[in-house]
Structure 1
Amino acid sequence: MERYDDSRLSEFRQLRQGIRQSKEHMVVGIDIAKDRHRAFFGTPTGRTLLRKVVFENTKEGFEKLLFHTDILMRQHALRKVVFGMEPTADYHKPLGEYLTGMDHMVVLVAGGAVRRNRELIDGRWDKNDTKDAANIADLVCQGKCLFYDHPSPEIRELRMLLSLKRRLKKEEHSLTVRIRNHLIAQYFPELDPYYTCGEGPAVVRWCIDPKEVSTLSLQEFSRMVSSRNGGEKQGRRLREIHAVAASSIGCRVTPSVSYEAGLLVDAVRKTKEMVRQTDARIASVCSSFPGYPCLMSIPGFGPDISAKVLGALGDPRRFDNHRQVLKLAGLDLSGDSVTPHTILSNTPSFFSRSLV
């Protein structure tokens, strides 16, 4: 693993403390979009240097931004520059990585702060405000900005895999809900209590029509939906499903229903396989972190929770004390004196829910 470079973090902390009185900084507020970004150039003292520069989300566009930055710094005898951005999906990441790769200071401003500051400036609340770049620069000048964390490649890979797993699990849940709330509830309601059992998806895949189940013998039905001998418990479940099929209240099943059932069950199976492969990849990446065995030794911390904690913390050397970790987790540090029962902040992160 790469060693953590804390020089950017130290520079950011100094920036927040002294940006308001600085006469050597130029602040560039950037309104991020998908194709074209807008930049505002000003100083912490409130002076406007250039109201708007529109540049493409390409390398040529990034070079255009730096060209204007260099020209203005020379014209106004400014020695330092800080770029502020509001995180917008993933559109800001190429620009952020480009600027940090050029050793420029990059900070983020929270979307909620941008919205509230816009109302304080001129009473506007339109999300598509063309003055957002100036609004972002104003927040940076006030020191109301966040550190742009650019972790090591291992941390970024782990976070990407964790994000992929969350999307896959969400897709799996969405497919399962559609099977139970759309297909089973409409065509075979009596099957729902058995769906979570091993043979439940197979019944949906091959025998979503209860009338078809009732025409089969128990032995034929069992061979169709089960490829292994699950013992007495499985046999009892199959007998119960076969028995209730004859008196099912489900709607009439058409060929398109059977087609959809097959597609959805196959999609769930493929998604689960992708989740298993992603888990194996996550475990392989986590094995390179020296702190991973320590996390695994904590009672209640398995591979999943340990990987999420590693992804959320990144390099622990960027924290000065344990209170910063608690704040990252979403714990309300000031709630003990006022609301002693408050544990989490209003917007707890997934990391905080995992820890608590």
Structure 2
Amino acid sequence: MPRGRKLNDYVAGFSVDKYKQNQRITRISERTLVIGADIAKKIHVARAVDFRGLELGKECTFYNDQEGLMKLALWMKELQQANAKTEIVFGVEPTGHYWFPLAAFLEGQGIKVVVVNPHHVNKTKELEDNSPTKSDYKDAKVIADLIRNGKYSEPSLPTKEYADLRILMNFREKVSINLKQVKARIGNWFDRFFPEYSSVFKEWDGKTSLMTMRRFPTPEEVVSTGARGILTHWKTEVKRGVGIKRAEQLYAAATSSIGLTEGTMAARLELSALLEQFDLFIKQLESTMQKVMEILEKIPGAAHMLSIPGVGEVTVAGFLAEVGDLNKYDHGQQIIRLAGLNLKENSSGKRKGKTGITKRGRSRLRALLFRCMMPMVAKNEVFKALHKHYTTRSQNPLKKKQSIIALCGKLIRILYTLGTKQKEYDAIDVLGPVRQAQLQRSAA
């Protein structure tokens, strides 16, 4: 069992969880029709139970189209009338993206949609028939039973500008991955056909280098063009920063190149195609971020969140894309739980287990905060001082990674405060006079 302050945090967290669990259970009454649905790409299966777990009617198998959704709505309405139910709670297992249109349809019908943890479904499926067998029909009943026992959560589907922001940031992440892959392929191309190129251009994606790659990428073409010809081509677009010395370096590197000389025609075609992809992904990133910035200007509090030194547009946009409207939360601790950064401990009696984070939340949000915090502990004076304090304090010092995780939680609370209260970042407000004096004494 945790001791001291940790015990108080543990009890407080347990009390909050207990209160929310009681709320969920209380919501499922004898007037509630509980429906669990196993979601697939084309065909869904739904089953209905009452608050005691008695199955009502037959299952409903419906397609993921308008006709299928209308069939589901009619099936639920008939069950509701036949069993004198006044409320419907519809639950799914969010293991993919196929449930999004269904959830939007049901919310449009005024039906409450909840989700159950896929981990819980997997662990409790044997309680249904004492068998590890898995099927869509069985999973639908397992999901319904979890809901009636209060083992569910209410999803926060983004709307309006937050929906646009989530789609744009997800698309940006995919484009960034594609861009990295193309850069790696271009590096692979140079390793095969012009290994010495990096000795002339440290970064191949500069303007002068891209001009060279498009006009004379192979050593043979560089040698045939000559240093003067190369410089003449450069000067058509680049007026400053390059001269004959750089052109002579490129010519010398091409003269002594050990690159492959067979298949150069196909190699040039390959590089041309890779450069087209590179240009496309760069353009997509720029246009995406332009739209993101337009949306951020419309969201109250976003500009105040950007006032934190070391926090940029990508961090704020990614944070809001994952979290949504901050006004839906009562406290920053709720967002910490959403990110899976809340602490867990496995202790019993005198045995004290290892403390870590639950990781039961949005992995993208955790990764975003971690990537943001790495440079902040080096450049942001407040977080730099806190990181030093956490890792060097006399009692219970943290490891560097543990300190960064703790500071990610602090950053969440700061972003929440600035976003909801719409106030500028102030280091004194963040630390408080007492903590600021402690850090100053430890630094001295």
Q: TM-score range by the shorter chain?
A: 0.7 to 0.9
Give runs of aligned pairs for residues 193-204 of structure 1, distance below 5 A.
194=201, 196-197=203-204, 198=206, 199-204=208-213
DSSP-derived class of the 1:147 partner: coil
The alignment status of 1:216 with 2:225, answered yes or no, reads yes
Equivalence for 2:277: 267
Give the whole-Å Cα distance in 2 for the aligned partners of 1:55 and 1:188.
58
Task: Tell me the CA shift for residue 195 of structure 1.
Answer: 5.9
Higher helix proportion: 2
* Deviations, residues 245-295 of structure 1 (Å, cap 9, x unaligned): 222222224322211211110221121012111111111111111111111
Match of 1:17?
25
Q: TM-score, normalised on structure 1?
A: 0.85
**Residue 311 to residue 113, structure 1, CA distance change in 2 (3 Å):** same
Which residue of 181, 191, 195 maps to 1:189?
A: 195
**Which stretches in structure 1 are left out of the alignment for 5+ residues?**
1-11
CA shift digits 1:61-87 (9 cap, x unpaired)? 212111111111222222221111122
Per the alignment, in what secondary structure is the counterpart of residue 196 of structure 2? helix
Question: Shift of the alpha carbon at 1:109?
Answer: 1.9
1:192 to partner: Cα distance: 4.1
Partner of 1:6: none
Cα gap change, 1:217 to 1:288, in 2 (>3 Å): same
Give the alignment's Cα RMSD to 1 decimal.
2.7
Report SS of the residue matched to 2:97.
coil
Higher relative contact order (CA 8 A, sep 6+): 1
What residue is the counterpart of 2:442 in the other structure?
none
Query: Following TM superposition, by how much is the alpha carbon of 1:344 offset from its aligned partner in structure 2, in angstroms?
Result: 7.3
Give, in whole Å, the separation in 2 of the partners of 1:42 and 1:109: 16
Q: Distance in 2 between matches of 1:236 and 1:103?
A: 72
Cα distance, 1:249–1:222 mapped onto 2, change above 3 Å = same
SS at match of 2:36: strand
Q: 1:100 deviation in Å?
A: 0.7
Moved more, 218-227 or 204-213: 218-227
User: Quick check: 1:78 aligned with 2:78?
Assistant: no
SS at match of 1:312: helix
- Is 1:124 the counterpart of 2:132? The answer is yes
Q: Which range moved further: 80-89 or 274-283?
A: 80-89
CA deviation string 1:146-188 (max 9, x = no partner):
212133311111111111211211221121111112x112212
- Does the 8 Å contact 2:38/2:136 carry over to 1? no
Partner of 1:155: 162
Alignment equivalent of 1:205, drawn from 214, 217, 226? 214
Structure 2 matches for 1:1-80, cutoff 5 A? Answer: 16-18=24-26, 22-80=29-87
Mapping for residues 295-310 of structure 1, pairs under 5 Å: 295-310=305-320
Question: Quick one: distance in 2 between partners of 1:223 and 1:50?
Answer: 81
Letter in 2 for 1:349: S
What is the distance in 2 between the residues matched to 1:282 and 1:350? 17
What is the one-letter code of the residue matched to 1:56? Y
Residue-pair matches, total: 340
* Identity across the alignment (%): 28
SS in 2 for 1:65: helix
Matched, 1:245 2:259: no
* Aligned match of 1:291: 301
Q: Distance in 1 between matches of 2:105 and 2:362?
A: 30
Distance 1:219 1:89, change over 3 A: farther
- Alignment partner of 2:76: what SS? helix
So what's the TM-score if we normalise by structure 2? 0.70
1:218 and 1:201 mapped to 2: Cα distance? Answer: 17
- The one-letter amino acid paired with 2:330 is D
Partners of 1:206 and 1:262 within 8 A in 2: no
Indicate conservation of the 8 Å contact 1:28/1:42, yes or no.
yes
Q: Structure 1 residues 33, 346: CA separation in 2 closer, same or farther (over 3 Å shift)?
A: closer
| Unpaired runs of at least 5, structure 2 | 1-19, 347-351, 370-407, 409-444
Shift of 1:349: 2.2
| 1:173 equivalent in structure 2 | 180
Give the equivalent residue in structure 2 for 1:141: 148
Q: Are the counterparts in 1 of residues 344 and 357 from structure 2 also a CA contact under 8 Å?
A: no
